[in-house]
């Protein structure tokens, strides 16, 4: 370290003080805080953002003094005609870097130290394959079969023992009948098959045209678990139509690219398909780039884009009217009420069967949100019904059905 | 013979059980779908026009951009400035002079503006407007660049509203354009909301301790 005179020292202290006052809670030597408040909007230690990735910058520019003067005021370095920096400037499409006259030499050293020691966090392995969840049915099935086999064996043993004791006592036994010709066995089997067959027939008939559990393979493995769960993006960020209109709307590609122009690799917890195989998130983002015609290296759209043909999962027949806006804005229904725990689904499946009884059940049980004495302003949409509500005895509540929620013409017209 | 029968029984049982665990990749069957499929064009349905487009250009779009100059009913006048070309900042600088056409937000409007902010901006700029939303998470999130600290950074507190509007409309640095998600009125509402939070922070900052940069009402 160099020894300094008192005067520059006080100036230096003042500079630091002014810096601390400016950027609030960050000590002068805290490289991470300094980096984030000054550099991070254009630079990342390991990735190209607007400017180059900074890790190893001291190896690329060994002259420490030159690097410091570049960071403080890059314009003077450019004017002096330094070849390395002029090339760099041209390479990053001549976007001028901000000047940082407020940064001191120790500040810059702290930033460089942080940048060079930066390591990428390794992805965790919290997400387990979802296939293990449904294994219990198989276990129960095997148990049932084993128990049935034991029962049959014991019955056989029992009849053998009975035959032996009968022989001993001299009672003549009837000719043994094999079990597949035994009338009792055959009747039982027919009954069981009838019940099982009837069950599947009825279930199948009800299930015609219903799609509960439908989970198609989409053109890109888009995980709602990563976007809406881990990263807490609001449903309405992409499906803004749900607030405004009948359709929830599938986002167009520019909405994906709001974030994915910058996020070009996946580094979170491992993600799995429904069958348990692992998904390479970075590859799926590359698929998005191939649809949009975006070149992540140059950061420009080099080819014409084409839309992704997502497969629609929730389909209502044409004779049913359903409006998203009416339900989530006036009715204040959460998305998850009908779509299930979507923030935990890697691959979206249809959660509700979307049958009429399912709709009507909800309309029968959901209470209308009226203003109450506790200060809750309630849902202003239903103000016209408030008079009737007041005429009823206190404590009574009105369901959606009472205000016409099960009238045929509400949904079928 | 008996052995064969037992084995076949086991296989049938096994198949039934395995069938129950399957993932349904195909839609189920329908029986007489009378009036189930729309004759009219529904959202995202493929029309004859699209099929022609596909034949001609090997491509089509579900959602087309309105004809240039279209103004939605009730919408504010469009932004007078166009987007700058790469490496140019003429219009970005010119946007400083543009003023917010909306009157100050009333209570109802500011609740709506807060909702719009939290849905569209909060994931990066943070619900507290501190530039540390769930996508950045202090550098641990997936977004590589630090979003602007809207409250507590003198640069953004001094930023003219017109320039903010330019950035929301056309995008700036790594932020994309929000013109398709927020209409003109909504964009100005969000900017009014941010400005009101900045003012609230400035007036409360000397009173509260400096370590807490959260805007208080």
Q: Write the CB contacts of A292 (distance below 8 Å, at least 6 apart in sequence).
A: A253, A256, A257, A301, A305
User: Based on the structure, what is the number of domains in chain B?
Assistant: 1
Which chain A residues are Cβ-neighbours of B146 within 8 angstroms?
A: 36, 40-41
Hey, are the CB atoms on A234 and B118 less than 8 Å from each other?
yes
> A279 CA to chain B: closest CA distance, Å?
17
The count of CB pairs under 8 A between chains A and B is 155
Beta bridge pairs of residue A157: none
Chain B residues with CB under 8 Å of A246 CB are 43
Whole-angstrom Cα distance, residue A301 to residue A293? 6
Q: Which domain holds residue B113?
A: 107-204
Query: Nearest by CB to B28, which of A134, A207, A215?
Result: A207
Q: What per-residue confidence (pLDDT) applies to B210?
A: 42
* Residue B47: inside a domain: no
Choose from A136, A317, A329, A411 for mutation: most chain B CBs within 10 A: A317
Contact between chains at B23 and A210 (C-beta distance less than 8 A):
no
Distance of alpha carbon B211 from alpha carbon B208, whole angstroms: 9
The owner of tokens 């030597």 is: A29
Place of tokens 């013409």: A409
Contacts of B149 in chain A (CB under 8 A): 37
User: What integer pLDDT is reported at residue A7 of this predicted model?
Assistant: 53
Nearest CA-CA distance, residue B151 and chain A, Å: 12
Element (H, E) at A59: helix A57-60
Measured between CA atoms, the residue of chain B closest to residue A233 is B123
Q: Which of B20, B27, B135 sits opposite A214 (nearest CB)?
A: B27
- Asked if residue B126 belongs to a domain, the reply is yes
**Do the domain assignments include residue B86?**
no
The domain spanning residue B164 has which CATH number?
1.10.760.10
Q: Which residue has the tokens 């991070």?
A: A40
* Cβ <8 Å between B17 and A121: no
The answer to whether position B93 is within a domain reads no
What pLDDT, on a 0 to 100 scale, did the predictor assign at position A220?
93
Q: Which of A40, A95, A201, A294 is most worth mutating to test chain B (most B CB atoms within 10 A of its CB)? A: A40
What was the pLDDT predicted at A23?
44
Q: Which residues of B touch A285 (CB under 8 A)?
A: none
Q: Is the pTM of this model over 0.80?
A: no
Closest of B199, B191, B183, B133 to residue B165, by C-alpha: B191
Instruction: Spell out, as residue ranges, where chain B has pLDDT lower than 50.
Output: 207-217
Residue-range domains of chain A with CATH: 6-116 (1.10.760.10), 133-176 (no CATH), 209-353 (no CATH), 355-413 (no CATH)
Answer whether residue B30 is part of any domain.
Answer: no
Which residues of B fall within a CB distance of 8 Å from A306?
59
Candidates A318, A319, A324, A412, partner chain B, best to mutate (most B CBs within 10 A): A318
Question: CB distance B181–A95 less than 8 Å?
Answer: no
Count of all residues that appear for chain B in the document: 217
Residues of chain A with pLDDT under 70: 1-29, 93, 120-135, 173, 371-380, 392-396
CA nearest neighbour of B161 among B112, B102, B215: B102
Closest CB to B13: pick one of A141, A208, A304: A141
Q: Is residue B131 part of a domain?
A: yes
The complex scores an ipTM of: 0.81
- Contacting residues for A256 by C-beta, under 8 A, at least 6 apart: A288, A292
């Amino acid at each position: 370290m160099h020894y300094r005179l008192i005067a520059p020292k006080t100036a230096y202290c003042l500079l630091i003080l002014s810096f601390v006052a400016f950027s609030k809670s960050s000590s002068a030597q805290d490289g991470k805080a300094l980096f984030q408040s000054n550099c991070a909007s254009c630079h990342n230690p390991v990735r190209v953002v607007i400017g180059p990735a900074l890790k190893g910058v001291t190896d690329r520019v060994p002259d420490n003094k030159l690097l410091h003067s570049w960071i403080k005021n890059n314009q003077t370095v450019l004017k002096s005609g330094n070849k390395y920096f002029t090339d760099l400037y041209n390479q990053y499409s001549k976007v001028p870097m901000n000047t940082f006259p407020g940064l001191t030499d120790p500040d810059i050293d702290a930033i460089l130290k942080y940048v060079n020691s930066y390591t990428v966090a390794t992805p965790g392995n919290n997400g387990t394959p979802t296939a293990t969840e449904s294994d219990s049915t198989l276990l129960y099935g095997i148990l049932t079969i084993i128990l049935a086999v034991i029962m049959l064996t014991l019955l056989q043993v029992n009849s053998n023992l009975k035959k032996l004791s009968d022989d001993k006592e001299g009672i003549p036994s009837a000719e043994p009948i094999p079990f597949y010709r035994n009338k009792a066995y055959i009747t039982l089997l027919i009954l069981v098959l009838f019940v099982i067959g009837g069950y599947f027939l009825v279930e199948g008939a009800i299930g015609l045209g219903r799609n509960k559990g439908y989970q198609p393979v989409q053109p890109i493995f888009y995980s709602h678990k990563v976007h809406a769960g881990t990263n807490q993006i609001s449903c309405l960020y992409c499906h803004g139509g749900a607030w405004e209109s009948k359709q929830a709307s599938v986002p167009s590609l520019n909405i994906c690219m709001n974030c994915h122009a910058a996020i070009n690799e996946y580094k979170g917890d491992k993600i799995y398909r429904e069958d348990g195989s692992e998904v390479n998130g970075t590859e799926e983002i590359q698929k998005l780039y191939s649809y949009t015609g975006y070149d992540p290296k140059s950061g420009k759209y080099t080819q014409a884009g084409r839309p992704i043909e997502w497969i629609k999962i929730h389909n209502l027949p044409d004779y049913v009217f359903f409006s998203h806006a009416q339900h989530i804005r006036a009715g204040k229904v959460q998305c998850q009420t009908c779509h299930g725990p979507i923030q935990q689904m890697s691959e979206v499946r249809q959660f509700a069967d979307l049958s009429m009884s399912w709709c009507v059940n909800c309309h029968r049980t959901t209470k209308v949100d009226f203003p109450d004495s506790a200060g809750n302003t309630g849902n202003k949409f239903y103000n016209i019904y408030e008079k009737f509500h007041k005429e009823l005895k206190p404590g009574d509540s009105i369901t959606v059905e009472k205000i016409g929620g099960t009238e045929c013409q509400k949904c079928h017209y | 013979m008996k052995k064969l029968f037992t084995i076949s029984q086991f296989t049938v049982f096994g198949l039934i059980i395995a069938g129950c665990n399957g993932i349904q990749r195909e839609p189920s069957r329908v029986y007489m779908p009378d009036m189930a499929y729309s004759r009219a064009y529904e959202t995202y349905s493929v029309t004859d026009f699209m099929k022609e487009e596909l034949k001609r250009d090997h491509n089509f779009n579900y959602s087309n951009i309105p004809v240039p100059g279209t103004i939605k009913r009730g919408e504010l006048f469009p932004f007078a400035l166009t987007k700058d070309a790469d490496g140019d900042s003429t219009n970005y600088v010119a946007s400083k002079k543009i003023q917010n056409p909306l009157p100050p937000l009333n209570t109802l409007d500011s609740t709506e503006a807060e909702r719009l902010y939290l849905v569209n901006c909060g994931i990066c700029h943070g619900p507290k407007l501190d530039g540390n939303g769930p996508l950045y998470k202090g550098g641990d999130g997936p977004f590589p660049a630090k979003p602007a600290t809207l409250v507590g950074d003198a640069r953004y507190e001094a930023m003219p509203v017109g320039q903010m509007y330019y950035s929301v409309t056309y995008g700036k640095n790594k932020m994309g354009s929000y013109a398709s998600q927020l209409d003109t009125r909504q964009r100005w509402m969000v900017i009014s909301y941010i400005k009101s939070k900045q003012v609230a922070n400035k007036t409360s900052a000397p009173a509260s301790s400096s370590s807490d940069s959260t805007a208080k009402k």
